[in-house]
A and B are shown apart, each in its own frame.
Chain A
């Protein structure tokens, strides 16, 4: 197993290198003069100083040398400075990543907690009223643009019935501590969590239902029934274990998403997460920030893929890791 993980990690290296080259080319393709960005837009400097700066920053070197310099800085954890926040990018990312994680972990627990039992029920009672309800629900959830859904929720529950705050993470101007702080934040979380949970539920329920259906139709389930086992044991002990395999895959896919922000939901609800930081970075042309985040997201997705395969190998003895 360890050997397999090690090999997969080695295989990942070329992919990461290509991704970093692509991202580097993107940085270079960006409009604007980096020296200008470094000094501030309105600065007036003589050409000599500018040239000196160019060579200090290594911008007079050929492209491939510049790439290696950039790579070396990235490897040392120096991602440059964010123009917008006037702080090192790594600090900015560290701050906002946790806000996203907080939001997403709640969504993760709710979405899987609800969709696993519901997916099973829908599969066991295929074409029943419950099943049809969730089929329609999934369809609506998949087809609903999240920004529109978010705005509708704000319109209904924050503007018309003032049940929840419109936006943000904590009420501005307040100085809550302890339980009050947690409650205040929970109140702010209700609407964004609802949007994200419902849109995740839509696809999760459908997926779990279908993978359970495949298992339920197999011969060994009929055998289990015919040897007189109770329906509960058949479903939860025999069928569910095998239906777990695709669910593990899903969890693997989900883990990177715990850290990649949802740009739209965070923007609509002004949640100070990593997705909104990326969006504002894009608008403000904060290149160091944009590139670091894209690199981070790509790495997370790659790790997610790896975790997924490992999980697969652990749950399903038929999968050979060699």
Chain B
């Protein structure tokens, strides 16, 4: 009975403390006006692109050649493209894909980064050597040249519908080494601390020690890194798609919609076809960067801004 109460109190304290850390982060975050501004913008954008397509009266791919290349009007907020598709609706769909690719490619990086960083930081020795050499090799290529090369090689075997997944994989794999290095560095210092001695004394397995005790202690850094990573991934996707080596039409993304501007009459006379998607990329990336910076400062008050 007595032991029970003690346990309960312990649990309660622990919970309070856990909430305490994140509450502190949130309190710090709230004070940062720029970060809040970013949060608001990305929330609005996300609502628009994830709910908007269901409200829009137009289909993403419904071709209407009689209506082609119309200027913006009340009926078509951003006009229509050369196949008469409502452009505003396509921007909403495109945004959904751009944001999804950004999120999922960071997901891929996270899985690889946690696995590589966790294992090489914990075990050290030859495992560390092999895993980190591998990461270093990927690191030693400039991003875009290798990405377009891979996209060209893999792309011929992938249908336009599945290009999106290919892009997620390419960006995720090419961007994971930075994350892996960061996690490894953190774990190298964490594993020498006393709580790890306690974990060893309790006889916990290596997997449990790595993934339940070490990795959770790096979450703060992982979250900041991943947030900024989403911004980077959205930029990378848009660049690849702009070059025609990422997600390709008929699937719209903000990146491949800016490609219209490479036709000189569109660039000159129909700015509503390429400026809005470009601005959307800029806004999305900027607001995510703001959130990432805000989180970093909230978590680590020692940082310079």
* A residues adjacent to B (C-beta < 8 A): 14-15, 18-19, 22, 26, 29-31, 126, 135, 139-140, 142-148, 151-152, 154-155, 159, 209-210, 213-214, 256-257, 260, 262-264, 267, 275, 278-279, 282-283, 285, 290, 293-294, 297-298, 301-302, 305
Contact = CB atoms under 8 A, between A and B. Distances in A.
24 contacts: A18-B133, A19-B137, A26-B153, A140-B286, A142-B289, A143-B282, A143-B286, A143-B289, A145-B282, A146-B239, A148-B279, A151-B261, A155-B267, A159-B267, A263-B144, A263-B148, A282-B245, A285-B152, A293-B145, A294-B141, A297-B141, A297-B146, A301-B141, A301-B142
B181 to A, nearest CB: 13
Contact of A154 (B235, B245, B267, B278): B267
Given A148-B282, A209-B304, 9 more contacts: A18-B133, A26-B150, A139-B293, A145-B235, A145-B255, A264-B242, A283-B152, A294-B145, A301-B142
Contacts of B119: none
Given A263-B243, A279-B148, A290-B149, A139 B271 contact: no
B238 A19 contact: no
B299 interface: no
Interface of B: 133, 136-137, 140-142, 144-146, 148-153, 156-157, 231, 235, 238-239, 242-245, 255, 258, 261, 267-268, 271, 274-275, 278-279, 281-282, 285-286, 289-290, 293, 304-305
A151 B149 contact: no
A145 B149 contact: no
A122 B144 CA distance: 31
A147 B290 contact: no
A264 B239 contact: yes
B149 A26 contact: yes
A298 B282 contact: no
B142 A147 contact: no
Contacts, number: 119
A290 B152 CA distance: 10
Given A139-B289, A151-B258, A151-B267, A145 B278 contact: yes
A213 B305 CA distance: 10
A61 to B, nearest CB: 22
Tell which of A144, A155, A257, A263 has the most Cβ of chain B within 10 Å: A263
Contacts of B304: 126, 209-210, 213-214
A264 B268 CA distance: 20
Contacts of B267: 151, 154-155, 159
Nearest to B284: A143
Nearest to A210: B304
A139 B290 contact: yes
Contacts of B148: 263, 278-279, 282
B140 A305 contact: yes
A221 to B, nearest CB: 15
Contacts of A147: 238-239, 242, 258
User: Which 5 residue pairs are nearest across A and B when measured between Cβ atoms?
Assistant: A148-B278, A143-B286, A143-B285, A282-B152, A301-B140
Nearest to A301: B140
A159 B268 contact: yes
